[in-house]
Amino acid sequence: MIAWELLMQNSIWAGLAAVGFALLFNVPRRTLFGCTLAGALSYAVRSLLLELGLVGIETGTLLAATLVSVLGVVFGRVWRVPAVVFAVPGLIPFVPGSLAFRAVSDLLTLTTGAVSADDTLLMKAVVSTLKSILIVGAIAAGVAVPSLLLRRDRPMT
Amino acid sequence: MTKRQPVQNGSLERPSQNKAPQPPLDREVLADIVDMALTAGELLMKNGAESQRVEETVRLLGTGLGCDWGSVLVSYNTIMVTHASGNEFRTKIRRVENIGVNMRVIEDISHVAHRVEAGKLDRASVRAKLEQIRAVPRGYNRWVTALAVGSACAAFSRLLGGDWPVFGVALLASGVAVIVRGELAKRGLNALLVVLMTAFAAGGLVGLVSRFQFSPRPELALVASVLFLVPGVPGINAVEDLIKGHIVVGLARAANSMLIVLAIVLGLILAVQLTGVRIS
């Protein structure tokens, strides 16, 4: 059973996050809607893929990041601006902030030696570190997809 | 005795995508074009464009304004260009500091490049356009930016699973942190130090508020409030540069992004240890 309501809510939050970052990067005002859309849509797609249990979070992030960057190219053609305008704010919601923070704090706790006998902490630290690295890698790989596929005879959008 | 051939400057170099040969330009005109091309490249680089875009724009402004060919070298913080016309050529290097991200500037320069390519702009109007783009201040008011970024970070805390108190604290902490960063950046401190201190300010604020037990998971507010420091644009540019063959610049950008992440982490850790946020 898919929690549609939560999915909708989260997409709205993702759209808000995207548009906030769009303002930080000073995108042209007329593209703000596109940025919101790119952020919300791609987050919804990732949540849906995860909900359906089709893919893990790493693959899901890869697919969603690919979607964002493809949307960036399409929207860039529509609004006649460089694709990065949409891609960067749209990707921000995928940053594994909480996971990475937990990874660092677990790793630091390990160094205190207070829990030397605790194997689960070690496992947790390693797993969350690896997951964070993989998710960041997935974002990077997804971003790269359009530039790998599109042969640009005409320079720049 | 055979008659000696006249010596030609740069005769071995040939434009790769040569159109019809253009009328030769004066040295002064050439210098002017080189200057404008570098200015366009500088504006792009300063505001978060990837190397390919910089290189293409700098070359295009030369050929579009009447040069026969141009060669461009883009490094992490320098642009070098040679533009040539007839038997004359001019070369110039410009050092560029990477200062931030401003998509508006990138868009404007890209429009100028398109119109030059289409032959719709002459030298005087290109110069006027560039001056105009350079003079435009940073678009959105900083309080608006603080509010927008605050909301974005707060929205992110919801995505992480935070409750409403976390939302409020993230909004406050990141909004304040945006202003703090603006103030620190103005003072010309080292860029990494600015990031570290900003992360510390955001984390410290969350830590202080967490004394009041505002939520069972205060660490979500902590993480969300520094999200805007994450080097998204430099990271993406690093990837773009690496896959498009600008390996050295890509590596430099990647290294810089990693340093920024480390600075964020360090700032947060300092804040956590000094204020004693309880992390579940």
pLDDT tens across B268-279, in order? 989 988 887 766
The dihedrals phi and psi of B215, each to the nearest 5 degrees, come to -160, 155
Distance CA B266, CA B61 (A): 43
**Cut 0.90: pTM above it:** no
User: With an 8 Å Cβ cutoff, is A38 touching chain B?
Assistant: no
Specify whether the CB–CB gap between B263 and B200 falls below 8 A.
Answer: no
Distance from CA of A58 to the nearest CA of B (A): 16
Name the residue in chain A with its Cα closest to that of B278: A105
Q: What is the largest CA-CA distance in chain A?
A: 61
Name the residue in chain A with its Cα closest to that of B139: A26
Chain B residue numbers with beta carbons less than 8 Å from the beta carbon of A78 are none
| Contact between chains at B56 and A16 (C-beta distance less than 8 A) | no
Encode pLDDT of B196-230 as tens digits: 999 999 999 998 888 887 777 888 888 889 988 98
Specify whether the CB–CB gap between B226 and A92 falls below 8 A.
Answer: no
Mean pLDDT of chain B: 86
| Contact between chains at A82 and B53 (C-beta distance less than 8 A) | yes
Whether the predicted pLDDT of A153 surpasses 80: no
Q: Which of A25, A98, A105 sits opposite B103 (nearest CB)?
A: A25
Mean pLDDT of chain A: 84
Distance from CA of A59 to the nearest CA of B (A): 18
Whether the predicted pLDDT of B93 surpasses 90: yes
- Reported as a pLDDT band with limits 50, 70 and 90, residue B54 is very high
B161: left (phi over 0), alpha (psi -120 to 50) or beta: left
Encode pLDDT of A51-66 as tens digits: 888 888 899 999 999 9
Name the residue in chain A with its Cα closest to that of B151: A20
DSSP H helices in chain A: 4-24, 32-51, 57-79, 84-91, 97-112, 119-149
Whether the predicted pLDDT of B126 surpasses 70: yes
Collapsed DSSP state (helix, strand, coil) of residue A43: helix
Cα dihedral sign, B217-B221-B222-B228:
positive
Sequence spans of domains, chain A = 4-149
| Contact between chains at A20 and B150 (C-beta distance less than 8 A) | yes
- Reported as a pLDDT band with limits 50, 70 and 90, residue B91 is very high
Distance from CA of B17 to the nearest CA of A (A): 12
Specify whether the CB–CB gap between B49 and A88 falls below 8 A.
Answer: no
Specify whether the CB–CB gap between B126 and B36 falls below 8 A.
Answer: yes
Distance from CA of A94 to the nearest CA of B (A): 9
Specify whether the CB–CB gap between B239 and B253 falls below 8 A.
Answer: no
What pLDDT sits at residue B11?
A: 47
DSSP string, B129-165: HHHHHHHSPPSS-HHHHHHHHHHHHHHHHHHTT--HH
Q: Which of A26, A43, A108 sits opposite B102 (nearest CB)?
A: A26
Distance CA B137, CA B34 (A): 25
| Contact between chains at B230 and A95 (C-beta distance less than 8 A) | yes
- Reported as a pLDDT band with limits 50, 70 and 90, residue A116 is low
Q: Which of A10, A20, A101 sits opposite B152 (nearest CB)?
A: A20
DSSP string, B202-238: HHHHHHHHHTT---S-HHHHHHHHTGGGS-HHHHHHH
